[in-house]
Amino acid sequence: MFAALGRFAVRRRWPVIGAWLAVTLAGAVLGGGVYDRVSDVDGLDPAAESAVAQRRIDALLPEGDLILGVVRDVDPYDPALVASVGRAHREIAGMPGVREVADLYSGPGGAIGAGNRGTLVTVRVDPGTDIAPVAAALHRIAAPQVLVGGEVPAKEAFARQALADAALGESVALAALLAALVVILGGLVAGAIPLAVALAAVATALLALSGLTRLTPVSEYSVNVVTLLGIGLAVDYCLLLIARFREEREAGGTLADQVGRTMATAGRTVLISGLAVAVAMAGLAAFATPLLAAMAAGGLIVVALATLLGLTLAPALIAAAHRRIPARRPPRPAQPALLARLAAYAQRRPWPVTLGTGAALLLLALPLTGINLANSDARALPADAEARRAAEVVQRDFRAGRPEPVTALIEADPGTAVGRELLDALNQLPGLAGMRLRLDVPAGFTIVDLTPREASGIPLVRAVRAMHHPAPVLVTGPAAEVVDGRASVAGRLPLVAAVLLVATGILLYALTGSVVVPLKALAMNGLTLLATLGVLVAVFQWGWGGPLLRFDPWGGLDVTTPVLLFVFAFGLTMDYEVFLLARIREEWGRRPGGNTRAVLAGIARTGPVVTAAAVCMVIVFLGFALGRLVAVKEIGVGMAVAVILDVTVVRGLLLPALMTLLGDRNWWPLRPCRCAPCRPRRPCRHRARPPNR
């Protein structure tokens, strides 16, 4: 089938190229509309307690979205300021969608900043209201500095910055990739083939994503996923196909035969790799949060398109430009490639290498014991972002550093015996610093805001939920959302891991015919992930990478980062596993010499491709590390670390060392054949695949 597909791509190369060019141009023209239609997607499971509680509170007390005007560096009772705030109050109150405006001068309970040098203007608007006129009116207040912040401005700042980071990452990655590919492949035309396929993958995926926005909300982070995966996978697949085409060209035959043999081997590898990554993306959707589901949808779209392009457009471009693709460099036995040198070293010392690399990866994973997962808030915005500066001033000057409250919704009136009992029990909790009842709550309910002593508020959330409740009590607030987010991930992780392990194991079994090889590959992927997360804790949570990566650490990792890395790293590093194992399996079935020779030969032949692909992947990921959102930096740096560790430590050292120790047991249940048509110690081709003679 794959050989026939390759021959078809040669015979119909110009129609294939023309068709994909038309789709790519449509994506370039129309796909850009996705940037205007992305929306803020909730990162919490709708069935989580905090989400249910917040929806019920919004129904009982529909206050609307919050906007804060932080007035600074002025006497709050300066007559000019009082008059200016009054004008802004009247102007904003008359705007459509505005529910309420409150300030120091229009009613009781106004706020004065530390040192009597500022005040707050609070605006509540209907969800979906355009806040630009409100922000403009607040900025016209006569004060040395007015900062506009709050929930809505922070979300809009996140959305704008995520799209800006995607554009920056894409532009930097494409420019650096072209230079790297020209050097790796030895020519401008050859280097342009992977880049052309990558651009087609991203453009067509954005077109599909733009259509998806008409059916369901799509997060701005889905655009980052599409760009990151589209470029990385397309370049990987093209490098593998071009490298194999160079080998097959040396073997002779017509162009159709050469491309057909390329697709029969490398094309099959591309399909299995694409299926493995698609399985990982499907696993992401199983976490059941709208945000991760939106990312999974974007990931599935771009993986499917990158695989399809690798099986159709890439061979067509290779056929069209085959005369401009330089021959591969002749192998130099005295100076083998990096992975071949590492593999040879590992095979000479399999036990020390296995134990040493395993210990090193576990040592890198040690910081995981102190990981702090939390939802990214305004602190994760760039330091000069207005919404972040406003949040910092409010926290420091108006809240005296007190953490966000934990909100409890009690299904009982505060004046009843049950209500009084619950409020008294809440007031005696050891982690409570203060409590405030909300006014005007409908009969039958009590809403109370609890100020925690600890900054995170998580112990207080757990204490409230662990209490004896004579009436139903639901807990919400930022700390409760973190608790529910962690619980949701932890609860679904075993199911997702099982799905990924089983599906990927089946794919690797189909590729190798072995049960042992897939189990070993999955275990090594787990070590890579643990080590990567440990590095991220040190770089971002501890702040070791702050000066180099130019960010201010906020003491934690985004709660979605481990999930995304688990899926992305699992899927993408499986690419290299598939590339290497496919060739090792082929070498094991081709010549005598046993398992050890096959491992070294397979790594020596595929190692340069894997190294080149890894270099290109790291370029793509580090392009996104240049972004200004800390959450995007975490993914970019995490993926770069995962690829570097996987290619050097895991595939270069641990893989050959383990396969050397296991010997022919790697290929169980396949056995070497001793029948007449097969040489001793060769795998039985009659069992591995149908005889070709």
What is the rounded distance in angstroms from the CA atom of residue 153 to the CA atom of residue 131?
8
Q: Phi, psi at residue 118, to the nearest 5°?
A: 175, 170
35 compared with 279, residue with greater pLDDT: 279
What is the rounded distance in angstroms from the CA atom of residue 594 to the CA atom of residue 601?
11
Q: Specify the DSSP class assigned to residue 265.
A: I
H or E element, residue 446: strand 446-452
What is the rounded distance in angstroms from the CA atom of residue 213 to the CA atom of residue 448?
38
pLDDT digits (tens, 9 = 90+) for 586-604: 888 665 557 888 898 888 8
Query: At residue 451, does pLDDT exceed 50?
Result: yes
Please answer whether residues 644 and 618 qualify as being in contact, where contact means their C-beta atoms are separated by less than 8 angstroms: yes
pTM of the model: 0.83
Supply 378's token pair: 């305004």
Query: In the beta sheet, which residues pair with residue 120?
Result: 70
What is the rounded distance in angstroms from the CA atom of residue 232 to the CA atom of residue 212?
22
Confidence of residue 682 (pLDDT cuts 50, 70, 90): very low
Closest CA to 268 of 239, 311, 236: 311
Supply 654's token pair: 């641990």
Question: What are the structural domains, with CATH classification, of the chain?
Answer: 1-37+160-267+282-313 (1.20.1640), 49-149 (3.30.70.100), 339-383+483-693 (1.20.1640.10), 405-476 (3.30.70.330)
Q: 3-state DSSP helix/strand/coil percent for the chain, to nearest 5?
A: 65, 10, 25
Confidence of residue 643 (pLDDT cuts 50, 70, 90): very high
Query: At residue 215, does pLDDT exceed 60?
Result: yes
Confidence of residue 537 (pLDDT cuts 50, 70, 90): very high
Summarize the confidence of residues 23-36 as an average pLDDT. 86
- Biggest CA-to-CA distance, the chain: 104
Query: At residue 90, does pLDDT exceed 90?
Result: yes
Determine whether 573 is exposed, middle or buried from the number of CB atoms within 10 Å of its CB (0-12, 13-18, 19+): buried
Q: Which residue stretches of 287-405 are H helix?
A: 290-311, 313-320, 338-348, 350-365, 386-393
> Which amino acid makes up residue 323?
R
Neighbours of 335 (CB within 10 A): 8
Summarize the confidence of residues 568-586 as an average pLDDT. 83
As a whole-number percent, the residues of the chain with pLDDT over 70 amount to 94
pLDDT digits (tens, 9 = 90+) for 400-429: 778 889 999 999 998 899 999 999 999 999
Query: At residue 667, does pLDDT exceed 60?
Result: yes
Between the alpha carbon of residue 240 and those of residues 233, 236, 253, 352, 492, the distances in Å are 11, 6, 20, 32, 35
Q: What is the pLDDT of residue 281?
A: 85
Q: Which residues touch 58 (CB under 8 Å, ≥6 apart)? A: none
pLDDT digits (tens, 9 = 90+) for 335-364: 567 888 899 999 999 999 999 999 999 999
Q: What is the pLDDT of residue 109?
A: 62
Query: At residue 470, does pLDDT exceed 70?
Result: yes
Average pLDDT, the chain: 87
Between the alpha carbon of residue 81 and those of residues 86, 95, 147, 375, 393, the distances in Å are 8, 21, 15, 36, 19
